[in-house]
């Protein structure tokens, strides 16, 4: 018979180091000092969510919980480090034993220990997206799929499809039908590639990023003895930004918390805006259903915005049915000004208004870094980038690369550059490399005879006459013929059509098919190209259009250091990318139905409610001044000027809460 031996905890000081009641407001204090058990903390925008989590960890440590028994899950490793550093500053306790980090980091740590249960060695490789793409392309080749016969999705597009399948737990056929319908005829082949890809990863002892979630959960579900180890270890689980979790992440938390149920999740349902990348809004909404004994705390004291902005924010989210009702309450005093609703004629006038008001704010001693222009989609900032460049106002794109620097924009522009200047070697090579079977070497080999023909024969009268006799591979022959016909269409007799017409023709004839198989976000890029064609309508001459693009690029190049934050610059950002940030002044532009909310979201209530949450996020980024702008008219690529209705979200805000600005021209 074995002897029972009890291992005592090391003695800890029982004196409380932190005066919680003095350092937290009443709502934060209630959550931080709550007894064990499941807890949902609904933390409104600007209410001190991180502070609440940090003090909760400190409270557990001060009450004798061993750091090794705490699991802190965040969405960035930086967030976890910052919280743990703050805990270390609050307490003279070594908290290094806490398991803190992203879901993926924790999954990796578990798999390194126990991955052999799934047939993986502890030395498995974690592939980045480039590695993943290369491995999938290898699998495509081994599956006998001939890209010459079918337009099969490239490796990085398939990587995105497989990632959606994993993170949303959606069957492949359903996912293709919903997000990639143009690939449905290839369902069987894509399914076969996925199965081969899984086998290849196992054979090469490799995992992709999604495996760090999926394989970890599978391991815990299939091997109870491993799951039991972690259930015993993690007596308290804390989760940040719970509204952004996907199905796998929620299942992972529930599995580990099954026995002790000491799980505290913190988030804001009103800021759940990432369903497009797999986040499941139901996780936070239905937490009380999965944990019927859960205590729900609301933290509504806002430390960021003036009262007038919070009144608008509360009104903006009120129409949502699926939500935890809350009311952001101000801690700041009123400045006496209401948010402005600004009606403008068109996108160009909207850009002029924003630029002029930015200069006025700068004269009022508001740093450019403290000003943000937010929008629903990247292309909404097109006119504004041009206007800011013209006026010499430095700006930085928080939401990624600048509109005209994006690959799909530069790809289509290369056709226009080439017909405007047939000696443009860079444009020629970029253009021809879009065709199947033509890479760097082939492009170089094609440029030599092209340049020779220009030197010998001079001006172009027929593109087909020059291009069709050139020697291209059998794989590229059909597409080369299409290129020649397209160039003859957009620049008959060598004379370029108006740039807007050329863009539309290039996209329809060549680029649309290319984009489908090469880009994971094809629909968004298609919107960009439609807007590019609309923007180009104001130029009748291709050289004038290209000159304006060059002006923007050159001004941007001079402003490149602003990306290092060494230079004062206005922030341009999608609302998605601005979440978590705050600014003195915020402009929200293109607030029209079809733009914000997006036209793709207006048929289903769930989608429209996410758009409304996105609007709420935009509003709550502002600390002191807020401008909500909408143009009456919008240029389109093929339909002329289109009348725009003000966003339905604006109509939901009571008139007394805002100030209407009437813009006149001098």
Enumerate the active-site residues: 49-50, 240-241, 271, 621
Q: Tell me 169's DSSP state.
A: T
Selection from 636, 635, 637, 643 nearest residue 593 by Cα: 643
- 3-state class (DSSP) for residue 9: coil
- Residue 87 to residues 51, 424, 432: CA-CA distances in angstroms? 10, 59, 57
Instruction: Kindly tell me the number of DSSP H helices and DSSP E strands found in the chain.
Output: 29, 19
Across 520-539, b (16+ Cβ under 10 Å) vs e yields: bebebbbbbbbbbbbbbbeb
E strand or H helix that includes residue 263: strand 263-267
Residue 8 burial by Cβ neighbours in a 10 Å radius (0-12, 13-18, 19+): exposed
Instruction: Classify the C-alpha dihedral 114-117-122-124 as positive or negative.
Output: negative
- 3-state class (DSSP) for residue 154: coil
Residue 574 token pair? 């999608």
Alpha carbon distance 461, 483 (integer Å): 16
- Residue 226 to residues 104, 221, 256, 261: CA-CA distances in angstroms? 18, 9, 11, 18
Q: 168 with 279: CB under 8 angstroms?
A: no
- Residue 632 to residues 353, 385, 574, 607, 647: CA-CA distances in angstroms? 14, 20, 21, 24, 11
């Amino acid at each position: 018979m074995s002897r029972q031996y009890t291992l005592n905890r090391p003695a800890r000081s029982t004196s409380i180091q932190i005066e919680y009641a003095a350092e937290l407001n009443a709502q934060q204090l209630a959550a931080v000092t709550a007894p064990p058990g499941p807890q949902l903390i609904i933390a409104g925008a600007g209410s001190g969510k991180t502070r609440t989590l940090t003090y909760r960890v400190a409270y557990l440590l001060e009450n004798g919980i061993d750091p090794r028994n705490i699991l802190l899950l965040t969405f960035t490793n930086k967030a976890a480090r910052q919280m743990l550093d703050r805990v270390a500053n609050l307490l003279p306790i070594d908290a290094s034993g806490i398991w803190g980090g992203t879901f993926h980091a924790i999954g990796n740590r578990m798999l390194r220990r126990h991955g052999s249960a799934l047939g993986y060695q502890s030395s498995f490789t974690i592939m980045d997206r480039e590695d993943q793409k290369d491995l999938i392309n290898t699998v495509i080749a081994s599956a006998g799929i001939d890209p010459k016969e079918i337009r099969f999705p490239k490796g990085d597009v398939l990587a995105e499809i497989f990632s959606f399948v994993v993170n949303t737990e959606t069957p492949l056929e359903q996912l293709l039908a919903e997000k990639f319908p143009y690939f449905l005829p290839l369902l069987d082949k894509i399914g076969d590639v996925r199965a081969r890809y899984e086998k290849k990863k196992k054979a090469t002892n490799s995992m992709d990023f999604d495996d760090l979630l999926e394989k970890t959960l599978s391991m815990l579900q299939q091997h109870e003895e491993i799951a039991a180890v972690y259930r015993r270890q993690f007596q308290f689980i804390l989760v940040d930004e719970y509204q952004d979790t996907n199905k796998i992440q929620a299942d992972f938390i529930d599995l580990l918390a099954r026995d002790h149920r000491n799980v505290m999740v913190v988030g804001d349902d009103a800021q759940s805006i990432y369903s497009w990348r797999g986040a499941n809004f139901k996780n936070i909404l239905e937490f009380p259903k999965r944990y019927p004994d859960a205590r729900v705390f609301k933290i509504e004291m806002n430390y960021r915005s003036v009262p007038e902005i919070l009144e608008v924010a509360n009104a903006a989210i009120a129409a949502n049915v699926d939500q935890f009702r809350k009311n952001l309450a101000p801690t700041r005093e009123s400045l006496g000004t209401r948010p402005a609703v600004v009606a403008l004629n068109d996108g160009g006038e909207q850009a002029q208004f924003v630029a002029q008001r930015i200069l006025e704010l700068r004269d009022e001693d508001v740093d450019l870094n403290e000003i943000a222009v937010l929008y629903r989609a990247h292309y909404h900032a097109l006119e504004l980038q041009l206007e800011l460049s013209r006026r010499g106002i430095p700006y930085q794109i928080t939401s990624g690369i600048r509109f005209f620097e994006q690959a799909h924009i530069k790809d289509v522009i290369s056709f226009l550059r080439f017909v405007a200047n047939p000696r443009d070697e860079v444009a020629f090579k970029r253009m021809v490399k879009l065709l199947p079977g033509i890479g760097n070497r082939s492009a170089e080999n094609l440029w030599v005879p092209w340049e020779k023909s220009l030197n010998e024969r001079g001006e172009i009268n027929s593109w087909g006459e020059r291009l069709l006799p050139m020697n291209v591979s059998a794989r590229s022959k059909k597409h080369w013929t299409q290129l020649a016909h397209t160039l003859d269409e957009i620049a008959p007799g060598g004379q370029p059509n108006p740039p807007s017409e050329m863009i539309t023709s290039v996209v329809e004839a060549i680029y649309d098919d290319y984009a489908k198989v090469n880009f994971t976000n094809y629909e968004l890029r298609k919107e960009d190209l439609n807007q590019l064609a609309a923007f180009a309508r104001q130029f009748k001459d291709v050289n004038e259009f290209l000159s304006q693009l060059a002006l923007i690029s050159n001004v941007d190049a001079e402003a490149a250091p602003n990306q290092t934050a060494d230079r004062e610059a206005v922030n341009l950002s999608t609302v998605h990318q601005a979440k978590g940030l705050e600014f003195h002044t915020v402009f929200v532009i293109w607030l029209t139905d079809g733009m914000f909310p997006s036209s793709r979201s207006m048929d289903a209530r769930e989608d429209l409610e996410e758009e409304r949450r996105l609007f709420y996020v935009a509003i709550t980024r502002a600390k002191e001044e807020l401008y909500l702008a909408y143009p009456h008219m919008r240029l389109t690529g093929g339909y002329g000027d289109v009348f725009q209705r003000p966003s339905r979200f604006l109509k939901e805000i009571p008139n007394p809460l805002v100030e209407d600005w009437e813009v006149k021209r001098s």
